[in-house]
């Protein structure tokens, strides 16, 4: 048998192998060290990541599968990020979670890993880590929540919060009813049940080939999730024997398939920064423009909130991811592999659609061209993105005066001022929310509308921001404006009253100010002063090294892979 990586710790009779083995003899029998694979379960279960709180139960099924296949399962709690809990934004910690996980996978005596994630940043950070250490790895997604209902209608996680809070501000919903909806929305264990970032990244992990086929999208409380977890545990042992590493699974073709799927699913704009960051760890050539080139013409087939009506439980019932992928099969790279060593497209043969309301036929899409559009112009020299599927069609070509906010605090202080000079034609600009500026590029781009316009019945306006938008949000929102204001982008030079020109069909985002005048303007002092300058700690390291959104907002020193080798002993 080929020598395992874990044998570098455990094989032999010297002092060091004694140290490694002896301390593990707390429940592990002697034959645990006879050359069988040692497998980490990288577990993001945490009470403070409520969407992942059930992952210990999932880990038990993975562990059973690993044991059944002759492996040794080892629980490895890793940094976990609760999207709704951590401040200032979970995105500030994504790269840190990826780094910490990568280092612990490399440092420990393991031969492979099962990655347990769910809530927004957890699957991206685990995939970034696995790509950089490149040990055999498989993702086991924790699955979405069941559908909750309020006033007799389904209430989507996140999406419902944006809708109901606007109703409260417009005076059409009482504060008491608003609070009553909380436990209707969060009905069960699992991650958000809309096509937000967690659902998107769980499904895209499968499209990238990194889950067992057919696993992504199974609701968290569904018995089949634990069955899938068991099968994943069995399978990782095979992967280790086959030496199948993330670098052999995730190819450029896999990423292009993920871009096609992102459009057909109506997935989160956050997938842009996450896929770019994962590709950056693998050294796979992928740019923001690939999203437009490959995805923009792909039709929207899935009628899920926030772009549509249904929720993840409905998608699973209607045939799930494979049924969606089968509709766009001709657009997929047939050579892209999965963790089984077989191509993804092979698994689509048995796909069936059981509900044509939820998964539309290719000929009758919800929207004919739904992928992310990448805009350029004098306001976004390095690009900005918009999700036309979540926007108001009549606003996709728009000209209007800017109303500029220099920070989130400035926005909160002035947005509802009755004297704020704003009309439905205005373009709301929020800056200082990029990776460096906030720091961490929070999900604030879907800024609320001014109360006085809400009262007039206005429900959408053009909004522009150098931050991100929650995958559960909707609206005509231009986000990820690059370079961000804090990095000297022209967004810092826009003034209230400047005319903004958005033309999504032409892929343009401009401010109608002559080039010479724009060049001569100094960046607004308030926008620059809002730039966070942390003195120490991760935040300091982050703002000093983080890249811009158009390349995935990873830290420069984390790009690429270091492999799994550790040459020096600990004693």
Residue closer to ligand FES by CB (options 157, 553) is 157
Q: In Å, what is the CA distance from 14 to each residue of 7, 33, 35, 43, 109? A: 13, 14, 16, 32, 16
| One residue of 72, 192, 277, 337 binding ligand FES per CB under 6 A | 192
CB 257 within 8 A of CB 333: yes
Residue 470 binds which entry of ligand FES, Mg ion, none, with Cβ cut-offs from 5 to 8 Å by kind? Mg ion
Residue 554 binds which entry of Mg ion, ligand FES, none, with Cβ cut-offs from 5 to 8 Å by kind? none
Q: Could you tell me the smallest distance in angstroms from the CB atom of residue 84 to ligand FES? A: 5
Q: Which two tokens stand for residue 426?
A: 């205005």
Q: Which of residues 27-66 bind ligand FES (CB under 6 A)?
A: 51
Residue closer to ligand FES by CB (options 156, 371) is 156
- Give me the helix-helix angle, 91-107 and 122-133, nearest 10°: 40
The answer to the question of residue 206 lying near Mg ion (CB under 5 A) is: no
| One residue of 10, 83, 385, 439 binding Mg ion per CB under 5 A | 83
Q: Could you tell me the smallest distance in angstroms from the CB atom of residue 148 to ligand FES? A: 13
Q: Which residue has the tokens 């049940």?
A: 193
Q: Could you tell me the smallest distance in angstroms from the CB atom of residue 192 to ligand FES? A: 3
Burial class from Cβ neighbours inside 10 Å (0-12, 13-18, 19+) for residue 393 reads exposed
Residue 128 binds which entry of ligand FES, Mg ion, none, with Cβ cut-offs from 5 to 8 Å by kind? none
Say how far apart CA 496 and CA 404 lie, in whole Å.
Answer: 5
Q: Quick one: which segment of 167-175, 192-200, 319-327, 444-452 binds ligand FES (CB under 6 A)?
A: 192-200
Residue closer to Mg ion by CB (options 21, 94) is 94
| One residue of 97, 123, 137, 198 binding ligand FES per CB under 6 A | 198
What are the start-end ranges of the E strands in 297-410?
A: 373-377, 380-386, 397-405
Q: Could you tell me the smallest distance in angstroms from the CB atom of residue 139 to ligand FES? A: 15
Q: Which residues pair with 141 in a beta bridge?
A: 117
Q: Could you tell me the smallest distance in angstroms from the CB atom of residue 141 to ligand FES? A: 11
The answer to the question of residue 193 lying near Mg ion (CB under 5 A) is: no
| One residue of 120, 466, 539, 554 binding Mg ion per CB under 5 A | 120
3-state secondary structure 509-541: EEECCCHHHHHHCCCCHHHHHCCCCCCCHHHHH
Residue closer to ligand FES by CB (options 141, 467) is 141
Say how far apart CA 269 and CA 280 lie, in whole Å.
Answer: 18
The answer to the question of residue 313 lying near Mg ion (CB under 5 A) is: no
Q: Quick one: which segment of 160-168, 191-199, 353-361, 503-511 binds ligand FES (CB under 6 A)?
A: 191-199
Candidates 260, 264, 259; CA nearest to 274 is 259
Q: Quick one: which segment of 12-20, 91-99, 188-196, 506-514 binds ligand FES (CB under 6 A)?
A: 188-196
Residue closer to Mg ion by CB (options 202, 377) is 202
**What is the three-class DSSP state of 274?**
helix
Q: Which residue has the tokens 């999406």?
A: 159
Candidates 118, 80, 105; CA nearest to 205 is 118
- The full DSSP string for 122-184 is HHHHHHHHHHHH---EEEEE--BPPPEEETTEEE-TTHHHHHHHHHHHHTSS-HHHHHHTHHH
The answer to the question of residue 466 lying near Mg ion (CB under 5 A) is: no
| One residue of 16, 75, 84, 423 binding ligand FES per CB under 6 A | 84
The answer to the question of residue 120 lying near ligand FES (CB under 6 A) is: yes
**What is the three-class DSSP state of 80?**
coil
CB atoms within 10 A of CB 178: 14
Q: Could you tell me the smallest distance in angstroms from the CB atom of residue 199 to ligand FES? A: 8
The answer to the question of residue 71 lying near ligand FES (CB under 6 A) is: no
Binding site for Mg ion (CB under 5 A): 83, 120, 197, 470
Contact residues: ligand FES, CB under 6 A? 51, 83-84, 119-120, 157-158, 191-192, 196, 198
């Amino acid at each position: 048998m080929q020598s395992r990586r874990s044998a570098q710790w455990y094989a032999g009779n010297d002092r060091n192998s004694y140290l490694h083995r002896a301390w593990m003899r707390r429940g592990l029998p002697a034959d645990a060290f006879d050359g069988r694979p040692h497998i980490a379960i990288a577990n993001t279960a945490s009470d403070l990541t409520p969407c992942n709180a059930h992952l210990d139960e999932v880990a038990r099924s993975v562990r059973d599968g690993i044991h059944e296949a002759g492996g040794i399962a080892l629980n490895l709690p890793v940094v976990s990020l609760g999207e709704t809990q951590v401040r200032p934004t979970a995105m500030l910690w994504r790269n840190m979670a990826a780094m910490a996980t990568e280092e612990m996978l490399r440092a420990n005596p393991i031969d492979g890993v099962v990655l347990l994630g769910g809530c927004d940043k957890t699957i991206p950070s685990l995939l970034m880590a696995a790509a950089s250490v490149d040990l055999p790895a498989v993702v086991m997604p924790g699955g979405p929540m069941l559908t909750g209902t309020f006033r007799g209608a389904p209430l989507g996680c996140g999406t419902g919060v944006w809708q109901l809070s606007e109703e409260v501000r417009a005076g059409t919903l009482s504060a008491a009813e608003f609070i009553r909806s909380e436990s209707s929305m969060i009905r069960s264990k699992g991650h958000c049940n809309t096509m937000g970032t967690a659902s998107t990244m769980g499904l895209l992990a499968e499209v990238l080939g990194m889950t067992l086929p057919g696993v992504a999208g199974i609701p968290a409380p569904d018995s089949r999730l634990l069955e899938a977890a068991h099968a994943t545990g069995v399978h990782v042992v095979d992967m280790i024997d086959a030496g199948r590493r993330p670098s052999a699974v995730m190819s450029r073709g896999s990423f292009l398939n993920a871009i096609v799927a992102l459009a057909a699913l109506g997935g989160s704009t956050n997938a842009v920064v996450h896929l770019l960051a994962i590709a950056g760890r693998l050294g796979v050539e992928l740019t923001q423009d690939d999203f437009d080139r490959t995805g923009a013409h792909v039709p929207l087939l899935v009628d899920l909130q926030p772009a549509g009506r249904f929720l993840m439980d409905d998608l699973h019932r209607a045939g799930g991811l494979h049924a969606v992928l089968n509709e766009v099969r001709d657009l997929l790279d047939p050579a892209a592999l999965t963790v089984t060593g077989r191509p993804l497209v092979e698994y689509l043969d048995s796909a069936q659609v059981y509900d044509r309301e939820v998964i539309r036929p290719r000929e009758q899409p919800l929207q004919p061209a739904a992928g992310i559009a990448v805009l350029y112009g004098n306001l976004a020299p390095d690009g900005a993105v918009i999700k036309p599927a979540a926007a108001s069609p009549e606003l996709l070509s728009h000209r209007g005066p800017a109303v500029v906010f220099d920070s989130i605090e400035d926005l909160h202080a002035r947005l509802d001022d009755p004297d704020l000079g704003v009309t439905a034609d205005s373009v709301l600009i929020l800056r200082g929310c990029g990776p460096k500026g906030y720091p961490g590029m929070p999900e604030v781009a879907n800024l609320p509308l001014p109360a006085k316009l809400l009262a007039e019945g206005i429900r959408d306006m053009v909004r522009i921001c150098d931050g991100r938008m929650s995958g559960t949000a909707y609206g005509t929102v231009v986000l990820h404006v690059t370079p961000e204001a804090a990095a000297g982008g022209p967004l810092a030079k826009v003034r209230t009253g400047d005319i903004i020109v958005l033309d999504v069909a032409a892929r343009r985002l401009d401010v109608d100010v002559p080039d010479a005048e724009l060049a001569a303007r100094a960046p607004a002092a308030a926008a620059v002063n809002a730039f966070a300058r942390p003195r120490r700690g991760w935040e300091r390291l982050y703002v000093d090294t983080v890249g811009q959104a158009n390349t995935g907002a990873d830290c420069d020193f984390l790009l690429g892979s270091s492999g799994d080798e550790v040459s020096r002993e600990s004693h």
